[in-house]
Protein backbone atom coordinates (compact mmCIF):
# COMPACT_ATOMS: atom_id res chain seq x y z
CA UNK A 1 0.00 0.00 0.00
CA UNK A 2 1.75 3.18 -1.15
CA UNK A 3 1.56 6.35 0.89
CA UNK A 4 2.41 9.57 -0.95
CA UNK A 5 2.94 12.77 1.01
CA UNK A 6 3.02 16.19 -0.65
CA UNK A 7 4.33 19.19 1.25
CA UNK A 8 3.42 22.67 0.08
CA UNK A 9 3.09 26.21 1.31
CA UNK A 10 -0.34 26.98 2.71
CA UNK A 11 -2.50 28.70 0.11
CA UNK A 12 -0.43 27.69 -2.92
CA UNK A 13 -3.04 25.24 -4.16
CA UNK A 14 -6.75 25.94 -4.47
CA UNK A 15 -9.25 23.10 -3.92
CA UNK A 16 -9.45 22.35 -7.66
CA UNK A 17 -5.68 22.13 -7.97
CA UNK A 18 -5.51 19.82 -4.95
CA UNK A 19 -8.15 17.54 -6.45
CA UNK A 20 -6.32 17.41 -9.79
CA UNK A 21 -3.03 16.69 -8.04
CA UNK A 22 -4.59 13.88 -6.01
CA UNK A 23 -6.14 12.33 -9.13
CA UNK A 24 -3.00 12.52 -11.26
CA UNK A 25 -0.72 11.15 -8.57
CA UNK A 26 -3.13 8.28 -8.01
CA UNK A 27 -3.09 7.64 -11.78
CA UNK A 28 0.72 7.56 -11.78
CA UNK A 29 0.84 5.18 -8.83
CA UNK A 30 -1.65 2.85 -10.54
CA UNK A 31 0.35 2.94 -13.77
CA UNK A 32 3.76 2.39 -12.18
CA UNK A 33 3.39 0.48 -8.93
CA UNK A 34 0.03 -1.12 -9.72
CA UNK A 35 1.05 -2.19 -13.24
CA UNK A 36 -2.06 -0.49 -14.63
CA UNK A 37 -4.54 -2.48 -12.50
CA UNK A 38 -7.40 -0.07 -11.67
CA UNK A 39 -8.12 -2.03 -8.46
CA UNK A 40 -4.74 -0.87 -7.13
CA UNK A 41 -6.19 2.66 -6.77
CA UNK A 42 -8.08 1.43 -3.67
CA UNK A 43 -4.76 1.00 -1.86
CA UNK A 44 -3.18 4.36 -2.78
CA UNK A 45 -3.04 6.90 0.05
CA UNK A 46 -2.14 10.51 -0.75
CA UNK A 47 -1.80 13.31 1.78
CA UNK A 48 -1.28 17.01 1.10
CA UNK A 49 0.39 18.79 4.01
CA UNK A 50 0.32 22.58 4.07
CA UNK A 51 2.64 24.69 6.20
CA UNK A 52 2.85 28.42 6.76
CA UNK A 53 5.22 30.22 4.38
CA UNK A 54 7.58 31.14 7.20
CA UNK A 55 8.21 27.41 7.83
CA UNK A 56 9.90 27.04 4.43
CA UNK A 57 13.32 27.92 3.10
CA UNK A 58 14.88 27.60 -0.35
CA UNK A 59 18.54 28.43 -0.78
CA UNK A 60 18.38 30.42 2.44
CA UNK A 61 15.37 32.47 1.30
CA UNK A 62 12.44 32.33 3.70
CA UNK A 63 9.25 33.70 2.15
CA UNK A 64 6.70 35.56 4.21
CA UNK A 65 2.97 35.04 3.95
CA UNK A 66 2.76 38.44 2.23
CA UNK A 67 5.31 37.42 -0.39
CA UNK A 68 3.37 34.23 -1.09
CA UNK A 69 0.17 36.27 -1.46
CA UNK A 70 1.95 38.54 -3.98
CA UNK A 71 3.23 35.52 -5.90
CA UNK A 72 -0.26 33.99 -6.00
CA UNK A 73 -1.81 37.25 -7.21
CA UNK A 74 0.74 37.44 -10.03
CA UNK A 75 0.29 33.77 -10.92
CA UNK A 76 -3.49 34.09 -10.97
CA UNK A 77 -3.32 37.25 -13.09
CA UNK A 78 -1.08 35.46 -15.60
CA UNK A 79 -3.45 32.48 -15.71
CA UNK A 80 -6.42 34.79 -16.32
CA UNK A 81 -4.54 36.60 -19.09
CA UNK A 82 -3.62 33.26 -20.70
CA UNK A 83 -7.22 32.02 -20.50
CA UNK A 84 -8.45 35.20 -22.19
CA UNK A 85 -5.81 34.86 -24.92
CA UNK A 86 -6.86 31.25 -25.55
CA UNK A 87 -10.47 32.30 -26.25
pLDDT per residue as tens digits for the range 18-77: 999 999 999 999 999 999 999 999 999 999 999 998 899 988 889 888 888 898 899 889
Cβ–Cβ under 8 Å, residues 42 and 86: no
The residues facing 58 across adjacent strands are 61
- Cα–Cα distance for residue pair 79/85, rounded to 1 Å: 10
**Considering the entire predicted model, what is its pTM?**
0.78
Amino acid sequence: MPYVQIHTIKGMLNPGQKQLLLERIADIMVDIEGAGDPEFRKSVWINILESEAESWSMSGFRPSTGQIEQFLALRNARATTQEEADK
